[in-house]
Amino acid sequence: MKKSCFGILAVLLATTLACSGCITGGSNDNELGLINEGKLVVGMEAQFPPFEIIRADGSFYGFDIALAEEIGKELGLTVVFVDTDFSSIIAALNAQKFDVVISGLTITEARAESVFFSDSYFDAGLSMAVPIGSTIQDLEGLTGKRVGVQLGSTGDLFATDLEGLGELKRYAHAPDAFMDMKNGNLDVIINDGVVSAPIVAAYPNDFMIVEGLVTVEEYGIAIAKSNPELLEKINDALAAIMADGRYDAIYDEYITNWSE
Ligand code: ARG
C-alpha cells in the first residue's frame, strides 16, 4: 500500500515537473499571453519622478523603469515602455494596450475589481505640498482652499471625499499642478509624498511639504485578469529581485539619491 502510494506520488511529481517545464520553456510559445512574443509592454504615465520620467533624449528613467528592466531579465523578455494617460491607464491595460502597468500605481480595492495586482513593491502615501509660508498644517486647514490633484489618482479620490474645499482642480500630470501652484493658482497639492518630495526639493523657494502622510498606500504592478500566469511570473520575479539586493540597489539609486 505504502509502496504504491509512493509510486503515484512519483508519477504526479514527474507530471508536475514536465508541465512546469513546458510553461517555463517559454520564449517560443506565448504561454504568458503577452501582446508581443518575447516582449513585456509596460504602460506608465511618465511625469512622476522618481518613479518615471522621460529624459530630454526621450529615454524612460526612474525607479519603475529600473524595476521593470530587472523583471524583464528574470522573465527573459525585452521591456518596452509606453507613456500613457493616467486616468485611463487601467482601461487601456484591459484593452490590451500593454501587458502590465508599472506606474506608482496604488493597490486599491476598487481597482482590484478590474485588474490583478502583484505583491506590493513600495510603501507610499499621500502628502500635502503647499507654497512656502502657507499656514495649512492638517486636513482641517483645507476648508475653503484650492486643492490640486492628478486626475484619477488616489489623491483625486481622497480629495473628492473631503468636504468644504474651496475648489478641487484636477491635472493630467502631477508636475502641472506644481506649476499652477507656483503661479499662485493653488493653495495645496495632495499627491504621493515620495513624488512631491523631489519636486518640492527642486523649488525650495516656492514649495514646502506639510509634515506627515495623510494616507497609507502600497504600489503594485497591475496585470489584466485574463492573464493569471503572468501575475504569477511577475510575483516570482519581484520576490527574486527583492531577495538578492537588486531591489535595495534600485531604491538607493532612484529614491535615496534621486537626480534627473
Ligand atoms: N499612486 C497614485 C495612484 O495610484 C498616483 C499614481 C500616479 N502615477 C503616475 N505614474 N502618474 O493613484
Q: What is the pLDDT of residues 210-244, one digit of tens each?
A: 999 999 999 999 999 999 999 999 999 999 999 99
Distance 17 CA to ligand 1 centre (A): 40
Give the residue-averaged pLDDT of 25-38: 74
214 in Cβ contact with 191 (< 8 Å): no
Per the prediction, the chain carries an average pLDDT of 91
Q: How many structural domains comprise the chain?
A: 2
**Domain check: are 38 and 119 in the same one?**
yes
**Domain check: are 168 and 231 in the same one?**
no
**Domain check: are 27 and 52 in the same one?**
yes
Residue 6 has pLDDT above 70, yes or no: no
Q: Is 221 helix (H, G, I), strand (E, B) or coil?
A: coil
Distances (CA, A) of 82 to 58, 97, 216: 12, 9, 28
98 in Cβ contact with 82 (< 8 Å): yes
**Residue 260 pLDDT:** 83
Closest CA to 227 of 66, 94, 37, 86: 94
pTM of the model: 0.88
**Domain check: are 24 and 115 in the same one?**
yes
**Domain check: are 41 and 118 in the same one?**
yes
Range(s) of the domain holding residue 154: 126-209
> Distance (Å, rounded) from C-alpha 115 to C-alpha 91?
9
**Ligand 1 touching residue 77 (CB < 6 A):** no
- 67-102 pLDDT, tens digit per residue, is 999 999 999 999 999 999 999 999 999 999 999 999
156 in Cβ contact with 150 (< 8 Å): yes
Long-range (24+ apart) CB contacts under 8 A made by 1-5 are: none
Strands (E), 95-214: 100-101, 115-117, 122-124, 126-131, 146-150, 167-171, 188-192, 207-210
**Domain check: are 79 and 133 in the same one?**
no
**Domain check: are 114 and 136 in the same one?**
no
**Higher pLDDT, residue 18 or 242:** 242
Distance 16 CA to ligand 1 centre (A): 39
CATH number of the domain where residue 238 is located: 3.40.190.10
**Domain check: are 138 and 199 in the same one?**
yes
**Domain check: are 227 and 104 in the same one?**
yes
**Domain check: are 106 and 226 in the same one?**
yes
**Domain check: are 50 and 116 in the same one?**
yes
Question: Given ligand 1 and candidates 195, 214, 216, 254, which is best to mutate, with the most ligand atoms within 8 Å of its CB?
Answer: 195
**Ligand 1 touching residue 105 (CB < 6 A):** yes
Q: List, in order, residues 6 or more apart from 90 with CB less than 8 Å away.
A: 101, 111, 114, 115, 222
Closest CA to 61 of 260, 247, 252: 260
**Domain check: are 25 and 118 in the same one?**
yes
Q: Which atom of ligand 1 is nearest to the CA of 106?
A: 4
Residue 29 has pLDDT above 70, yes or no: no
- 167-190 pLDDT, tens digit per residue, is 999 999 999 999 999 999 999 999
**Ligand 1 touching residue 148 (CB < 6 A):** no
Tell the residue number behind the cell numbers 504526479, with chain if given: 12
Can you give the C-alpha Rg of the chain in angstroms? 22
